[in-house]
C-alpha cells in the first residue's frame, strides 16, 4: 500500500482566527488591510505573531518588535493575542480533519498531518478530497488553510508552504526536481538562517545543490547528525510515521523577554525564582522529574548564552531547581551587561519507575515535595497568584502572573524558531 500524507496548515492562524471572529460580528476583515497580531506597542515584549498579506507588502515580519512594524507601516491595525480563541479554533479545525482521516497527528496549534494511506476506495482522487477538506474548514469556520499532499510528512509539509492562501499543492517524489530543488536552501524544512549561511559560504544555494552534494561535505559543515538529515530531506527522504499520539516531552522550558533591562543579579534571581516555580509545577503535573538544568540569558546584542549542569538526583522541587539556576546564572553573567531575556530549561527527563527509583533519599525532600504539590493544588483551584513566594514579591506583577501561567500556554505560542540553530 502506497503512503499518502496530507499536511493541513492554517493560513496566518492567529490573524485569521481574529479576523473570522470580527467578520462574524460585522466588523472589518483584518485579512484585507495592513494588520497584525501583536502585544502592546509601548512594551518591548510586544512582537508580531502573525500578519496579513497587505502588511507583508510593507515589510512587516513575524517575530519582529511591534514598534519596528509600526515604523514600517504606521497605519498597521493591531489586535492583541487571544489564546482562548486560538484554542477553540484549533480544536474545531482538527475535529473536521478527523472526519476524513483515520489517523491525525496535530503538531502545533495550527497544523496537522493526516495519514490518508489506504483510503483510495473512499477517496480515489487525493486532490479532490484535499480541496473538500480545505473548503469544509473555510465554509464552516470562516478561515482558510493550505493542504500539501505527498508520500511522506516532509514533502507534504513543503508542499503546503507553496503559494498561499486557500490552496492545495502536491509534491510527489517525481515532482521534487521541478518543484523543490530550484528553491533556496533556506526554504528546506529544518534549515535555519545560521545553517543556510554555512551552506551558502560553501556555494550551496539551492535545495537541489544540497541534494547533489557529497554528504561527507555537509557533515563537515553542520555536523554528522544534522548533515545526514539535511541531505536526506533535500532528496525527499523521510520515513517518520504520522503518529496518533504526541511524543513525550524531551524537556521543559520557560523564558521571558523583559520590559526593562535587568541590571542586577538580585533582580535577575527573583525572576529566575518565578520561572523555576512555574516550570517545576508543570513537571509535577505530568509526574516527571529532570536531571539537568540549564539557564539562558540574552543581552542587547540579541545573542543567547547558556550554561547547564547535570544533577546527582533527578528533581521536580522548585527550590532545588532555582538553587542550581541561580548558581548557573552567576557563572554565566558578567555582572555588568544589561539583560533582556532570562530562561530556564529542564532536560534528562525521568518518568514512571525511573523517577521513583531516585525519589527523595531523605524525609526533608519528601516533605518539601508534598508541600509544593499542595501549593500546586491550591493554585490550580483558586488561581496562580493565590500563593506567591515572599522572595518573588518584588517581581513585577505582569511577570509573575504571566510566567506562572506560561507553562500552560507554551504549546499555544507559535514562534517558528529554528531549534537546530
Active site residues: 111
Pairing of strands 111-115, 103-108: antiparallel
What angle separates helix 318-332 from helix 265-286, to the nearest 10 degrees? 140
Report the 3 state secondary structure along the chain. CCCCEEEEEECCHHHHHHHHHHHHCCCCCHHHCCEEEECCCCCCCCEEEEECHHHHCCCCCCCCEHHHHHHHCCCCEEECCCHHHHHHHHHHHHHHHHCCCCEEEEEECCEEEEECCCCCCCCCCHHHHHHHHHHHHHHHHCCCEEEEEECCHHHHHHHHCCCCCCCEEECCHHHHHHHCCCCEHHHCCCCCHHHHHHHHHCCCCEHHHHHHCCHHHHHHHHCHHHHHHHHHHHCCCCCCCCCCCCCCCCCEEEEEEEEEEECCHHHHHHHHHHHHHHHHHHHHHHCEEEEEEEEEEEECCCCEEEEEEEEEEEECCHHHHHHHHHHHHHHHCCCCCCEEEEEEEEEEEEEHHHHHCCCCCCHHHHHHHHHHHHHHHHHHHHCCCCCCCHHHCCCCHHHHHHHHCHHHHHHHCCCCCCCCC
The CA dihedral of 188, 191, 197, 202, to the nearest 10 degrees, is: -70
Burial of 230 from C-beta contacts in 10 A (0-12 / 13-18 / 19+):
buried
d(CA 34, CA 23): 16
Amino acid at each position: 500500500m502506497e503512503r499518502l500524507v496530507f499536511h493541513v496548515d492554517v493560513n496566518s492562524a492567529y490573524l485569521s482566527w481574529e479576523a473570522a471572529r470580527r467578520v462574524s460580528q460585522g466588523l472589518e476583515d483584518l485579512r484585507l488591510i495592513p494588520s497584525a497580531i501583536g502585544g502592546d506597542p509601548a512594551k518591548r515584549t510586544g512582537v508580531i505573531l502573525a500578519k496579513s498579506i497587505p502588511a507583508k507588502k510593507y515589510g512587516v515580519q513575524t517575530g519582529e518588535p511591534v514598534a519596528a512594524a509600526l515604523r514600517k507601516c504606521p497605519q498597521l491595525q493591531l489586535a492583541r493575542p487571544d489564546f482562548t480563541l486560538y484554542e477553540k479554533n484549533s480544536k474545531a479545525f482538527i475535529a473536521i480533519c478527523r472526519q476524513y482521516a483515520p489517523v491525525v497527528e496535530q503538531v502545533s496549534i495550527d497544523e496537522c498531518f493526516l495519514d490518508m494511506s489506504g483510503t483510495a476506495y473512499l477517496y480515489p482522487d487525493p486532490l479532490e478530497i484535499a480541496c473538500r477538506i480545505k473548503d469544509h474548514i473555510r465554509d464552516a469556520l470562516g478561515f482558510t488553510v493550505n493542504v500539501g499532499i505527498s508520500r511522506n510528512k516532509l514533502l507534504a509539509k513543503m508542499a503546503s508552504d507553496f503559494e498561499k492562501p486557500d490552496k492545495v499543492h502536491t509534491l510527489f517524489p517525481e515532482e521534487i526536481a521541478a518543484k523543490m530543488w530550484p528553491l533556496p536552501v533556506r526554504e528546506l524544512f529544518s534549515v535555519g538562517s545560521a545553517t543556510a549561511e554555512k551552506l551558502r559560504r560553501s556555494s550551496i544555494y539551492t535545495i537541489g545543490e544540497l541534494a547533489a552534494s557529497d554528504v561527507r561535505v555537509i557533515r563537515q559543515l553542520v555536523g554528522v547528525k544534522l548533515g545526514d538529515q539535511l541531505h536526506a530531506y533535500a532528496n525527499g527522504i523521510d520515513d517518520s510515521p504520522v503518529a496518533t499520539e504526541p511524543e513525550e516531552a524531551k524537556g521543559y522550558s520557560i523564558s521571558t523577554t523583559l520590559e526593562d533591562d535587568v541590571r542586577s543579579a538580585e533582580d535577575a534571581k527573583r525572576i529566575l525564582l518565578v520561572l523555576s516555580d512555574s516550570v517545576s509545577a508543570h513537571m509535577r503535573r505530568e509526574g516527571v522529574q529532570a536531571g539537568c538544568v540549564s539557564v539562558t540569558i540574552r543581552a542587547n546584542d540579541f545573542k543567547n548564552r547558556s550554561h547547564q549542569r547535570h544533577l546527582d538526583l533527578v528533581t521536580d522541587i522548585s527550590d532545588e531547581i532555582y538553587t542550581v539556576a541561580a548558581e548557573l546564572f552567576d557563572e554565566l553573567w558578567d555582572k555588568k551587561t544589561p539583560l533582556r531575556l532570562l530562561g530556564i530549561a529542564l532536560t534528562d527527563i525521568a518518568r514512571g519507575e525511573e523517577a521513583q527509583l531516585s525519589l527523595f533519599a531523605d524525609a526533608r525532600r519528601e516533605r518539601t515535595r508534598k508541600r509544593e504539590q499542595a501549593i500546586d493544588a491550591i493554585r490550580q483551584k483558586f488561581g496562580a497568584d493565590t500563593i506567591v513566594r515572599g522572595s518573588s514579591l518584588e517581581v513585577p506583577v505582569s511577570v509573575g502572573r504571566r510566567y506562572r501561567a506560561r507553562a500552560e500556554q507554551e504549546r499555544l505560542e507559535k514562534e517558528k524558531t529554528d531549534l537546530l540553530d
